[in-house]
Amino acid sequence: MNVNRRDMLQLLACSGLGLAAFRPSIVSANPNEDIIVPPRLNPGDTIGLVSPAGITRSKTKLKIIEETLEALELRLHVDEHAMDRWGYLAGKDEVRAEAINQMYKNPEVDAILTFIGGWGCARLLPYLDYEMIQKHPKIIMGFSDVTALLLAIYAKTGMVTFHGPSGRSGWNTFTVDYVKRLLFDAEAITYKNPDDKGDNLTQVKDRIQTITPGTTRGRLVGGNLSVLTALMGSDYLPDWKEHILFMEDVGEGIYRIDRMMTQLKLAGVLDEIAGFVFGKCTDCDADSGYSSFTLAEVLDHHIKPLGIPAYRGAMIGHVSNKFTIPLGVEAEIDADEGTIRLLGAAVS
């Protein structure tokens, strides 16, 4: 019987022999496979601000976004419907989608920033002009519900999109540093959690935990777990083959994380990926009591049997200190060290 390495690792995991002695190094497909890399940011560029999901009616928050971009030497162009309201959404679906289309068409807009997440981006996907978007590559960035836009644009156009701060996010030193290095300097970043011990004898906050040791390469793809699984069965998701899947979530009970991970397994997604990184699960009942699984246990149940390099705890998600991660860029993860190393620039 012919058994490949991945199958062998799965057999070992299921048999109880464990993976501690194994450090797989899995190499992905051709790193030179064509993707569309948008132009980098430069001082003086104009950022188009759109509201693709929940409502925002605070002019003070809009002013803060403007001042934040000014501090980055960027100018702000606000969509005329950004402050609209339609129920709990920032305007009707067709209007919100057309705002995004127009930002891509507008030659005076250099990049696109989303106001906030919430809910609503998935409703826009049928109304986006992907052929036009593909012809006008630009940075588009956000997180949480914006995951739907990032995944769909990457899947439909092959263009790199960016899981990072939205306009309403906190733009602190840590977060801004990664934005500058990735989007202005076109640096092939190595992402590593901060290792500040503070007054403690060892690091307490922002530790990483290896799920399965090893290194692997693949194109980064992912975002918010709840939003991603809500798109299952649609044609707005990429081919998962040899991708490195990263994800995060907020405010979800452990059984719901288990349910969504099970959905990914049953849909065949987990069997396709080359590596796995779980960021932060903010307010996700990390310990729901004696009778509950922990988040670590649930991730172990679903990921360890795959035999692929995997770790959790990366600075991705609903947290103050936030990585900006490009979807579609070839990267290498080291699950022992808890690092993501880009193998090329995410912008041109």
CATH number assigned to the domain comprising residue 52: 3.40.50.10740
* One domain for residues 271 and 299: yes
Beta bridge partners, 246, equal 222, 277
Indicate the pTM of the whole model: 0.89
Q: What is the pLDDT of residue 169?
A: 86
Q: Residue 174: how many CB atoms within 10 A of its CB?
A: 15
pLDDT value of position 287: 56
End-to-end CA distance of the chain, in Å?
Answer: 48
Q: Which of 169, 201, 231 is the last residue of a domain?
A: 169
291 or 80: which carries more pLDDT confidence? Answer: 80
Other Cβ atoms less than 10 A from the Cβ of 293: the count is: 16
Q: What percent of the chain has pLDDT over 70?
A: 89
Is the domain of 22 the same as that of 55?
Answer: no
Torsions phi, psi of 226, nearest 5? -60, -45
Residue 59 three-state SS: helix
Same domain, 146 and 249: no
Same domain for 229 and 161?
A: no
Catalytic residue ranges: 144, 248, 318
Q: Which of 169, 197, 215 is at the close of a domain?
A: 169
Using the predicted structure, report yes or no on whether residue 252 has a pLDDT greater than 50: yes
Q: pLDDT band at 198, cuts 50/70/90? A: confident
Determine contact, residues 10/308, Cβ cutoff 8 Å. no
Confidence of residue 289 (pLDDT cuts 50, 70, 90): low
Residues 269 and 309 in one domain: yes
Does some domain include residue 103?
yes
User: What is the pLDDT, as a whole number, of residue 56?
Assistant: 82
Mean pLDDT in residue range 301-322: 97
Q: Residue 117 has what pLDDT?
A: 84
Residues 347/226, Cβ–Cβ less than 8 Å: no
Distance of CA 71 to the CA centre of its chain: 25
* C-alpha dist (Å) from residue 314 to 137, 173, 213, 333: 28, 17, 15, 11
Domain membership of residue 259 (yes or no) is yes
pLDDT 10s digits, 168-193: 888 999 999 999 999 999 999 999 99
Residue 331 has pLDDT above 70, yes or no: yes
- Average pLDDT of the residues of the chain: 90
- 214, pLDDT greater than 50: yes
Angle at 341 between CA 121 and CA 215, to 5 degrees: 105
74 with 46: CB under 8 angstroms? Answer: yes
Per-residue pLDDT averaged across 19-26, rounded?
39
Instruction: For residue 155, give Cα distances in angstroms to 92, 173, 328, 330.
Output: 24, 32, 9, 15
Q: Are residues 56 and 109 located together in one domain of the fold? A: yes
Residue 17 has pLDDT above 50, yes or no: no
One domain, residues 236 and 265: yes
pLDDT for the residue numbered 137:
98
Q: Is 138 a residue whose pLDDT tops 50?
A: yes
- Residue that wins the pLDDT comparison between 198 and 316: 316
**198 and 272 housed in the same domain:** yes
Number of separate domains in the chain: 2
- Model confidence at 269, pLDDT cuts 50, 70, 90, reads very high
Nearest to 304 by CA among 11, 4, 2, 30: 11
> Looking at the structure, do residues 335 and 231 belong to the same domain, yes or no?
yes
The predicted pLDDT at position 64 comes to 94
Domain limits for position 88: 46-169
Instruction: Examine the domain organization and report whether 21 and 54 are in the same domain.
Output: no
54 vs 332, more confident:
332
Q: Which pLDDT score is estimated for 292?
A: 84
State whether 196 and 325 are in the same domain.
yes
Task: Report whether pLDDT(30) > 60.
Answer: no
Using pLDDT thresholds of 50, 70 and 90, give the confidence band for residue 57.
confident
Cα–Cα dist 268/233, whole Å: 11
Which whole number is the average pLDDT over 321-329? 97
State yes or no: pLDDT of 151 exceeds 70. yes
Burial 141-164 (b: 16+ CB within 10 A, else e): bbbbbbbbbbbbbbbbbbbbbbbb
Are residues 211 and 313 both part of a single domain? yes
